Structure 1
Amino acid sequence: MADKLLPEQIAKRLRREILRGALRPGASIKERDNAAELGVSRTPMREAIRILSLEGLVELRPSRSPIVADPTWKEVVDNLEVLKALELLSGELAVAHATEAEIDAAAAVQARMEELAPTTDEIDLFEIDMEFHSAIVRASGNPALAETHGTYLAKLWRARFLGSRIGRSQQRVFDEHNGIIQGLRDRDKRKVKVTISAHLDALRRQIRRHFDTNTRVGELQPGAPANAPEPAPNVK
């Protein structure tokens, strides 16, 4: 791998290894060894690790190798509460300010997610899912809000991915995404906020089920409890 490789590209590769469990929570990330494996100098590797630490995926330690982060349930809940507040505010602002082009862009992301779902790698599909949420926030017309949302989206990356693997109906996710889009088209603030709230509350339940099987946000173990049927959000 050429040394000109951007740190963001290295971070993406390490991020995917963390999501897949190749780098488990608590595992040491040795800067020299990883740089040698990728054929890059230690400078871009160091910057990539810094990016992941800002996202909350990696924990930096003075005079020691960084490790893959393993947040507690309390830490995850704190971040989820902030994320929910940000997405609810984004939805409200998007109802008022989103252009038809911005709504169409979010709808195109969702259409791509549905089209690729049967054949796409689960991490690739998860990244499209996160792209959808980012598109809704960008449609708020508030760059500062979008930047803050990006920070918390990154902090919850692994927890959301693991939660998404626990038995929730993929069609329910699609229906909720499409409900948000329709609410934006109708300029229906209540529908958008109720659907976003239901969507993120379901996410919290999924992550909670993961914690019922694993003490921390470690690798999903076989036999994790499946989700109970979820009630549809009441948007009337």
Structure 2
Amino acid sequence: MSGSQEAPEAAEVIETLGPSVGVADRLAADIQAGRFSAGSWLKQIDLQNRYAANRSEVRKALVSLATKRLIQYEPNRGYYVHHEDDALSDEIRDLRVMLETAAADYIVAKATVADIASLRQLAEQFLKLLPTGTIMDIYEANLAFHTALLVASGNRALVELVRDLRLRTPPAPASQWSTRARIEQSGQEHLEMVDALEARNAEKLKAIISLHIQQ
């Protein structure tokens, strides 16, 4: 997680908080901004007071963020901010590079014109969310793009395997997107992937995918 010097920037550029923003989004933004450090426990009563929310709203937010791996749940103890295992994360990252770059040949060979158009739309939607979208909006848009890219390979087992690997590490909002520049770079890389796919350039697609995952 980024240090306190990056916290104000992350909070300001990733999310514009207003009264309509839900508890899950507010908590996600605070985690991203470093206001809750990795490994810290999230006490429900403290969250109720912090976000002026009731018990039910806070519980739903905690369950939602646990599902998305921003936080973890330990039976009989409660929820805490995801504490990343660096060694395991590195191994899973390397495995994803192996699998997803290998899939590039299949994606290039099997992706239809409609698939490419859909991927470009998803990539553009990701970028459009950056000025005002919440962290969770951006998270969902990122996941939608990467899932659609793998689906284009025609290999459902691969899609499920990569999904399971993702579940073993925290998502980008918790581990990578500490600045607007990094999020924008991810968005540009999405578009570059689509361009390489449209050009049917498997080697370029592999290179971009590898760079993207290893950031």
TM-score bucket of the superposed structures, by smaller chain: 0.5 to 0.7
Asked if the contact 1:92/1:189 (under 8 Å) is kept, the reply is yes
Asked if the contact 2:123/2:190 (under 8 Å) is kept, the reply is yes
Matched, 1:107 2:123: no
Q: Residue type of the partner of 1:110? A: A
Q: Tell me how far apart the structure 2 counterparts of residues 47 and 148 of structure 1 sit (CA, whole Å).
A: 23
CA offset at residue 28 of structure 1? 1.5
> Which residue number corresponds to residue 224 of structure 1?
none
2:85 equivalent among 60, 72, 84: 72
Measured against aligned partners, the alpha-carbon deviations of 1:31-52 in whole angstroms (never above 9, x if no partner) come to: 6776894452998678547625
Q: What is the TM-score of this pair, normalised by structure 2?
A: 0.66
Q: Give the secondary structure class of the aligned counterpart of 2:40.
A: coil
- Structure-2 change in CA distance of 1:43 and 1:78 (3 Å): same
Measured against aligned partners, the alpha-carbon deviations of 1:34-86 in whole angstroms (never above 9, x if no partner) come to: 6894452998678547625xx3x334435322321211321321221122223
Which aligned pairs between 1:6-155 and structure 2 lie closer than 5 A? 15-30=28-43, 37-40=53-56, 48=64, 51-52=67-68, 55=69, 57-117=70-130, 119-121=131-133, 123=135, 124-125=137-138, 127-154=140-167, 155=169
- Structure-2 change in CA distance of 1:112 and 1:61 (3 Å): closer
How many residues align structurally?
Answer: 187
- Structure-2 change in CA distance of 1:40 and 1:169 (3 Å): closer
Asked if the contact 2:25/2:134 (under 8 Å) is kept, the reply is no
Any unmatched runs of 5+ in structure 2? 1-21
CA offset at residue 97 of structure 1? 1.5
- Structure-2 change in CA distance of 1:112 and 1:51 (3 Å): closer
Q: Residue type of the partner of 1:66? A: Y
Asked if the contact 2:124/2:191 (under 8 Å) is kept, the reply is no
CA offset at residue 95 of structure 1? 1.0
Q: Give the secondary structure class of the aligned counterpart of 1:66.
A: strand
> Which residue number corresponds to residue 178 of structure 1?
191
- Structure-2 change in CA distance of 1:12 and 1:91 (3 Å): farther
Q: Tell me how far apart the structure 2 counterparts of residues 181 and 44 of structure 1 sit (CA, whole Å).
A: 36
Q: Tell me how far apart the structure 1 counterparts of residues 182 and 46 of structure 2 sit (CA, whole Å).
A: 38
Q: Tell me how far apart the structure 2 counterparts of residues 12 and 148 of structure 1 sit (CA, whole Å).
A: 28
- Structure-2 change in CA distance of 1:82 and 1:41 (3 Å): same
Q: Tell me how far apart the structure 2 counterparts of residues 176 and 13 of structure 1 sit (CA, whole Å).
A: 27
Measured against aligned partners, the alpha-carbon deviations of 1:176-199 in whole angstroms (never above 9, x if no partner) come to: 333321222232221211221233
Q: Which structure is richer in relative contact order (CA contacts within 8 A, separation 6 or more)?
A: 2
Q: Give the secondary structure class of the aligned counterpart of 1:161.
A: coil
Q: What is the TM-score of this pair, normalised by structure 1?
A: 0.61
Any unmatched runs of 5+ in structure 1? 1-8, 204-236
Identity across matched positions, percent: 24
